[in-house]
Structure 1
Amino acid sequence: MASLTETFIEDGFADLGVLMPEEACRELMQAVRASRNFGPDIFLDQATFEANPQYRGTNPMPGRNLFEALSPKSDFILAEPRLKSALSELLGADYTVLDQKLVCGVPDRWLPDWLKPRIIGNPVNNLGPYIRPAYRDITYFYGIDFHQDIIDWKSRYSDLITVYVYIHPVTAGDAPLYVLPRSHKLGACMFPHDLTKQSDGRWLYRNGTGGEMPLDERMLVGETGYVACWHACTLHGTMPVSSDAERFSARFLISRGQAAQAGLDAVNASIPYPLSLEDTRRDLGAAGEARIKGNIITGRPVAER
């Protein structure tokens, strides 16, 4: 059986299965739902948004992070022994948690009528700019095109991985993650990515510097407590929620520590392309607003606005 490091070398992704206890996930979900009335009321009205549009600084941050505020109910995830062992293998025993937060996939019925024309078909629909400030302690999204998590770490070497946890069952209609295993092999690439759906259902991926490869798509559905992790250069995304219910998950970005050896070193040594970027994306304007329309994962071609 392949080690986790060997799996990451080959796929840049690992399905860890159901690791988290169902009862602890259920209690966490109860606490999340008790924090506010989830629905249309979390959004700003059009006049308030347009009076002072803020496209940056609307994600959870220290002091405004529901996952951290719910400690100790939320502590069980990073304390799970099998997850800790996996992280120690890949990142060294002194790994560092860079970011931890709750993520909410928003169903269509929540969206205000004024907002829909602005966001339908955008490559990245992080809804933070349109959420009332009191509720920006969670990341809310409505579909995100295939991307790498190095997108948020300009000029940083890919010394981190993502851990994603479903804290309730996620089916095909609940905006599950879609991952393209092996895509990390082409290194760090600017967003949006050059992906073309082929007649056999696979994606042809080109990195812009001569590398290209066909990739299979994997949809991550799972029961309560399901965990997956992937490399900072692994492509992944989500469709918008197609059911009537929101989808909640916990997401972590965790970096290599100072240990002398870590499995991620071997993973990165196997990649013959750059693992950092000076510029990570071309889809945003000067204020952080979307300037590109289109979404590859949903079949809409990407074009400049």
Structure 2
Amino acid sequence: MDHISSFIENGIIEFGPIIDKKKCAELYEDVLKTRDWSENLFRSQEEVEKDPKFDKANPGLGVFNLAEKYDLSFIEDNEIVKDHLERILGLDYEILLKKFICGVPPNWVPKWLMPEATRKVGANMGRWIKPEYRDITYFRGLEYHQDLIDHPGQTGEYVTFYVYLDDVDIGMSALNVVAKSHMYGATMFPHCLENEDKEACTIDYGPDENHMTTLNTKVLPAERGYAFLWSSITLHGTRPQTSDKARISLRYTFKKNDNNKKNELINDLLNSSEGPLTTEEGRDDINLETFEQVKFDKVLR
């Protein structure tokens, strides 16, 4: 199956090693030099208790974003990347966001924090990271989610493009994806998932417990330079890191230009779904005023 057919049918593209490995290694080494990658990244328990706010804890477009300081033309001008983005989003596609993602090893996490970090459904570590290091997004396992969660109330005319900057094994929070999970459109996080079978690589998914379909799952360990792409309504996530070596990767969100009214391939994929194309809130696992967690079910443990 060619890449475009895979995107339309499965909601995912596995490109393979299309990004220059030497340049990935150089970028990876440069990023390693930017800080002390250890428990030193974290705020103290006293600081968190005094100021537990969760807002402004991640890099944004033009906002305290380490990825924007580097020349990433070896990725953005890659002919395979450009060709597929143009075919999916149109000739005038845009970068909505690019940022580094760090999978946090267990030996970095302060002992006082580990129980809460393990319990969290969406284990974004941003609120616990010192402000000066929040130019990267840190996580410790991410439950299956749609990237639409970042843009509630919007139609997902965008895709995520992901590059491994170093070799990634199973223990380094390798990506997990659910093929064809875009079939139900936009659904609320935490999503309705049951009966994960790790041996058969399947899981039951649906908009609710009365409308479930068994879908195939896949784990994506790979060498540096491997790239992946998925739709805004494709379920994906990672299990918590078990390796003591952090995973540092690069994540892009590319979007269809707002002025482009043509029916592009991204619209074909969205319109093939059986459900809504957006949700007003995106998630109901936390109280959005206090950021306290109110739902605790997890698949990717």
**What TM-score comes out, normalization by structure 2 length?**
0.94
Name the counterpart of 1:228: 228
Amino acid in structure 2 at the alignment position of 1:214: T
Name the counterpart of 2:255: 255
Name the counterpart of 2:128: 130
Q: Secondary structure at the match of 2:171?
A: coil
Instruction: Report deviation, 1:111.
Output: 0.4
In structure 1, which of residues 93, 104, 108 is the aligned counterpart of residue 91 of structure 2? 93
Identity %: 33
Instruction: Report deviation, 1:121.
Output: 2.6
**Is the 8 Å Cα contact of residues 94 and 259 (structure 1) preserved in structure 2?**
no
**Is the 8 Å Cα contact of residues 121 and 294 (structure 1) preserved in structure 2?**
no
Judged with a 3 Å threshold, the aligned counterparts in structure 2 of structure 1 residues 30 and 3 are, in CA distance, closer, same or farther, namely closer
Judged with a 3 Å threshold, the aligned counterparts in structure 2 of structure 1 residues 177 and 198 are, in CA distance, closer, same or farther, namely closer
Instruction: Report deviation, 1:260.
Output: 2.7
- CA–CA distance in structure 2, aligned partners of residues 220 and 150 of structure 1: 21
Name the counterpart of 1:171: 169
CA RMSD of aligned residues (A): 1.5
- CA–CA distance in structure 2, aligned partners of residues 37 and 3 of structure 1: 39
**Is the 8 Å Cα contact of residues 3 and 14 (structure 2) preserved in structure 1?**
no
Matched, 1:84 2:82: yes
Instruction: Report deviation, 1:210.
Output: 5.8
Name the counterpart of 1:290: 293
Judged with a 3 Å threshold, the aligned counterparts in structure 2 of structure 1 residues 129 and 217 are, in CA distance, closer, same or farther, namely same
Name the counterpart of 1:106: 104
Q: Secondary structure at the match of 2:40?
A: helix
Name the counterpart of 2:59: 60
Name the counterpart of 2:114: 116
Q: Secondary structure at the match of 1:223?
A: coil
Q: Secondary structure at the match of 1:29?
A: helix
What are structure 1's unaligned runs of at least 5 residues?
Answer: 299-305
- CA–CA distance in structure 2, aligned partners of residues 202 and 114 of structure 1: 35
Higher deviation after alignment, 56-65 or 100-109: 56-65
Number of aligned residues = 295
Q: Secondary structure at the match of 2:8?
A: helix
**Is the 8 Å Cα contact of residues 97 and 254 (structure 2) preserved in structure 1?**
yes
**What TM-score comes out, normalization by structure 1 length?**
0.93
- CA–CA distance in structure 2, aligned partners of residues 38 and 261 of structure 1: 45
Q: Show structure 1 runs of 4+ deviating over 6 A.
A: none
1:140-166 CA distances to partner (integer Å, 9 max, x unpaired)?
000011010001111101111111110
Q: Secondary structure at the match of 1:293?
A: coil
1:187-230 CA distances to partner (integer Å, 9 max, x unpaired)?
10001111112565521112129642111110011111100110
Amino acid in structure 2 at the alignment position of 1:241: Q
1:1-305 equivalent positions in 2, closer than 5 A: 1-2=1-2, 4=4, 6-61=5-60, 62-69=62-69, 71-72=70-71, 74-197=72-195, 200-208=200-208, 211-257=211-257, 258=260, 260-285=262-287, 286-298=289-301
